[in-house]
Structure 1
């Protein structure tokens, strides 16, 4: 069974951003994936053909790995590197400020969250990533409904995707479609459906959720403290938001 790197775990390239920030993000992503695979640093090093000291330096953010080394580390955990872009710092800060000013219920409606969750029906899930952060009041950009789904429920998810006319994101060709829908198949766990875009984090067990309510509706979400562990990109944005609040007094 091959698992590929999901978007909520992608390594994002920031143009003209200090190298230390990228190095720390790479380190956090490697460490996060290693822990998901229940490997220690020595075991990962042996699989990838590097030293344990090198893995430790990369995870601490003390060393920027070459692309071949990074690809070997990720391949040893059955995942692959994906590259994305996002606005420069000033534009990102302006976007966060704009989101702070918008009511949560307005953003929930814009996302089409209720429609997606009603459509998911009996599929067991917990909202996670940026979606969970939004529902807990964090002004993070949300591009899709993000859920955690158990591997043993992957058949239910596949059946639902078929009914919802799902198309899987093909990162190689940067387009939707031409990939099998099943989560077990290679590819990002990202689908476009008739109800909107869905990202899934496949896991052995669902995270312990907390209940939040908006507009008279209950949502079961992964707590922010756990989001910061499981989603490096969301964690980076949450830290940035808190730092800016602290700077503002």
Structure 2
């Protein structure tokens, strides 16, 4: 998803019109429309203001450029050394190399993610609540 598509997604999730979001961050409705259609790319201060107005992390609006499995592998390889993300022995998933610098925090975050996924799958939370939780990161 592009940054513009993500802005539109979260704006609609919050039940806002383009003009309302624009008012909250001090830009015109047209500027929001241009961001959402990727006609213009918001600069970092606008991304941060939009994220704050939508109560999400600015990273939730970032386009990481991952379009296929090869791109995903490239990203995972970048994360391997610092975060310890490595393929499981049988290749069916991922595991954490405990010797990596940020492995303890990575493990903690993965456990939080697993717990939230369990809440979703058990029906304790809705898919909208899960999406809202994810957007905080």
> TM-score, normalised to structure 2's length?
0.52
Change (3 A) 1:198 1:59: same
Where relative contact order (Cα < 8 A, 6+ residues apart) is larger, the structure is: 1
1:78-107 alpha-carbon deviations (Å, 9 max, x no partner): 112126857797933999xxxxxxxxxxxx
The equivalent residue for 2:105 is: 176
| Root-mean-square deviation over aligned CA pairs | 4.4
Change (3 A) 1:27 1:86: closer
1:213-235 alpha-carbon deviations (Å, 9 max, x no partner): xxxxxxxxxxxxxxxxxx9xxxx
Structure 1 runs of 4+ off > 6 angstroms?
A: 86-90
Q: How many positions carry a matched residue from both structures?
A: 98
Structure number with the higher helix fraction is: 2
Alignment partner for residue 114 of structure 2, among 189, 195, 198?
198
- Matched position secondary structure for 2:11: helix
The equivalent residue for 1:64 is: 41
Change (3 A) 1:81 1:199: farther
Change (3 A) 1:199 1:58: farther
Output the CA distance in 2 between the equivalents of 1:49 and 1:77.
14
The equivalent residue for 1:55 is: 32
Output the CA distance in 2 between the equivalents of 1:41 and 1:192.
34
Residue 91 (str. 1) matches residue 81 (str. 2): no
> TM-score, normalised to structure 1's length?
0.31
Contact 2:2 2:63 (C-alpha < 8 Å) held by counterparts: no
**1:86-125 to 2 correspondences below 5 Å:** 91-92=70-71, 110-111=92-93
Contact 2:3 2:63 (C-alpha < 8 Å) held by counterparts: no
Output the CA distance in 2 between the equivalents of 1:110 and 1:90.
14
Contact 1:45 1:55 (C-alpha < 8 Å) held by counterparts: yes
- Matched position secondary structure for 2:50: helix
Structure number with the higher strand fraction is: 1
1:129-168 alpha-carbon deviations (Å, 9 max, x no partner): xxxxxxxxxxxxxx69xxxxxxxxxxxxxxxxxxxxxxxx
**1:183-222 to 2 correspondences below 5 Å:** 191-193=109-111, 198=114, 200=116, 206-207=126-127
Residue 37 (str. 1) matches residue 19 (str. 2): no
